[in-house]
Structure 1
Amino acid sequence: MAFIALLFALFSTGSCSSQVPLVMWSSEGYTLPQLVSPAAGHIISNVQLMAYLNSALGSAPHNMLLFLQDKLSKDDFTRYGGVFGNKQDSVFPNLESALQSSSSPLVLPALSWLGASAVPSLLQEKLGVSPLSVDPDTLEHLRFNASENTLLVINLPYSSGAYLSCQDVLRNNDEVIGKVLSIMKAQSVPYTAIYTGLKPSRVIEEPSLIVQSSMSRSLLQAVVDEVKPPLMFNSTRGPCIMLWAQNLNVSFSDKEWIDLGPSTFASGGSVSTSGSFCNETNSQLVLDYGSSVSPYNPFRLIFSMSQRRYPVSARNWFTLDTVELVFNTLTATYNGSHGIYAPAEYSFHCQNVNNFRNALLVPHAQNATQWRILFTDFQIQGFSILNGTTDFSYASDCAGFFTPGIWMGLITSLLMLLILTYGLHMIMQLRSMDRFDDPKGPSISVPQSE
């Protein structure tokens, strides 16, 4: 039951517009390698899925069971998985039992459904064998060799018709999963299993970006600027540092701004990343512009990052420790660790990074105050970059939740609430007269002492 609740918690972070979930586990006694969990809301692409499978199948059994359902969405787990305490109503008891017996199941909440449809071909390429479609009755008569690669595909239906409800279909599919796993266990064959869908069972229609772009172009004739790809530094193990910005502006002693963006991100730019490095705890990106930034020759920008684990949050965080501006034979150093940080598996993004107004880069020495730095739409990531990816991970933004507008609204609301409370208090303190004059009786005599 705990694993179905875990599935619900993970699946609830992504959109269900065009993604399917993928669950992967191995038989008892075998452990899948620990992989970096995808960031909340991140959609796994085909390339990233291949990287996950390469890592997972490195030590896992190569007898592969692929439970391929016609349609599958996270809503199927949240509606029918018994995650709200109604365990008796769960339609996935066998899947739940398999996940509990596995020491390290892998859950990908949001996999591109185009990537999900390519799972059989990806496994075929990885294992080097052709897929074999089977059902439980056929599987009972087959014998397997644990030392040979096997790819078994068990196709599962999905229906919402009048004859059989979705809940009943999913319960029957879970029984098929249980039978197949029991057969493999009876033959003492180690296996690795994957449960996913060919396409989502529930799709939320979203406006077409092409239609929106066409309408905007016809109304405003707006010219869309070309988005340049991020700068990426690759080590021997693959990509490890990514950087992007709309503008990288620097200025010396209030002189004219120099934009380093075109030299950094444009194709055929003059920047060199020689001297950059990365490892598990430290990363350094060196942007060497040589003699292209006249008259400051040579000219370099150096971004130094580190990551460490903080027990309070129970996770690793990375910080941009320093930004060094090397010109001629001098170095201006800026400390960014107080404001530029993010979880290690995320990237950092900020619309405005500077050293003179609401500064995130604090001058470290006197000569650093002579330079002005302004990075617009700045984004950087120095750790946890997947092989084959060209996109940043989920971005941790520098913009705080309580903006000036929110603070104004909160303070105004609290002030009005205080006035209302004071008014109610004054009304409750009013006292009515407790003595009345009867015109037919004697006059009321009120002593002066009262």
Structure 2
Amino acid sequence: MRCRSVSTMAFTSVLLFICSIYSCYAQVPLLMWTSGGSNMPHLAQPAAGQTVSGGQLASYLKSALSGAPHNVLLFLQDKLIMEDFTMYGGVFGNKQDSAFLTVESALQASSSPLVLPALDWSASHSILELFQGELGIPAVHINPNTLKEIKLNTSQPSLLAVHLPYSAGVQTKESLLKNDAIIGEVLNVFKSQDVPYTAVYTGLKPSRVIEETPVMAGRSVGRSLLQAPPQSSVKPPLVVNNTAGRPCILLWADTLLASYSGKQDDLAIHIFNGSADTAGSVCNETLSRLVINYQNVLDLRSLRLIFSMRKIFFPVSARNWSVVEQVVLEYDGQRAIFNASGGIYSPAEYSFHCQSVSSIQSPLLVPRSATDNANQWKLSFTDFQIQGFNVTGEDFSYASDCAGFFTPGIWMGLLTSLLMVFILTYGLHMIMQLRTMDRFDDPKGPAISVPQKSGEIISISPLLHSLFD
């Protein structure tokens, strides 16, 4: 037990040291371990501060699978950074408060776990393809709720992928706790069936990215404009070509969350890794129809996500506009149709961009009818951008954003400022209207004479003297 605790402390110390000298936010970590009783070749850990590229990752996986079990479990979390382990893991304080109890226990039980603190997050998108190439079998996306129904065969390799969500902010620890519980349930199923396994836990992208501009040799360090940040490697948009082989439709989204019957999946994960199936897409001068085909997602045999766009001329503005008329989901012989409610449009020469396109809150997507199958679905797109006309290359044209210029905050500020100006103007006007008396009576001066009809003069000086003396 003392050796186990010492090894754990050494492992966490190395983890902290690597994280402290390296920018943990620009990459994603990768953890790999085997079940108890199984061995994995001892692999050299990368040097502190080294970023593992896609080619190096393929070399690591090939060496690991040479002796590790070929029943592979891939736990793919939407977002993951090394700080999640240092903030919510059992590195500081009591291990009972750790959000990674299952993962930490599995790493301790493994004879030779592999920890890559800094994996190039663009390479994490291809990890599924790397395992499929090494094992020679397709991946099966599973739901933890239906995992108990799967009967595993130890004589044949298997590749099971489990998708894990991620919530940023105050819900991060709660989200990690739920994911750790899911990992524990999956591992318990393998233990109950006495199947040796190799598990991999990583993120598809980091939750935070800090840009770092390297200092080039012979280049002086000076000030730069804030409006011109350094270029970073960003996944390219989905490009659909026409019959002539030229791009005609572009699509980009940070997430394309779809929920159906209590299950949720990010459809964007399967789009930007170069394996998107866009069979059935069409585009011409007046109509563009983007079709994205999926297999075995949300426990559905097949799913088609369709964006229908049309170019319409509006006489009021005297120009053509690109309008997204409908978003259609075709699944297992059924259809769910969302109307865009007139909110997803842009000039035909531009692309459309919106930070949030949702069917839940402030919906831009509305079910076509109250009894339509769309009521069983919930769609939420973030950082969504699409262009269906006047595409000149593989880059978007100028984006027409859905956010209005006068937001509620701006309106509140304007009205408050106008009210304050009105009060100030009224106060200045009242001050300028003040007038002082041009004559004052001296009570001890000459008496005031009041002429009477009879010509008599009444003197009131004694009365005034009695009042003021």
TM range (shorter): 0.3 to 0.5
Normalised by the length of structure 1, the TM-score is: 0.46
Higher-RCO chain (CA-CA 8 Å, sequence separation at least 6) = 1
Q: Compute the TM-score of the two structures, normalised by the length of structure 2.
A: 0.44
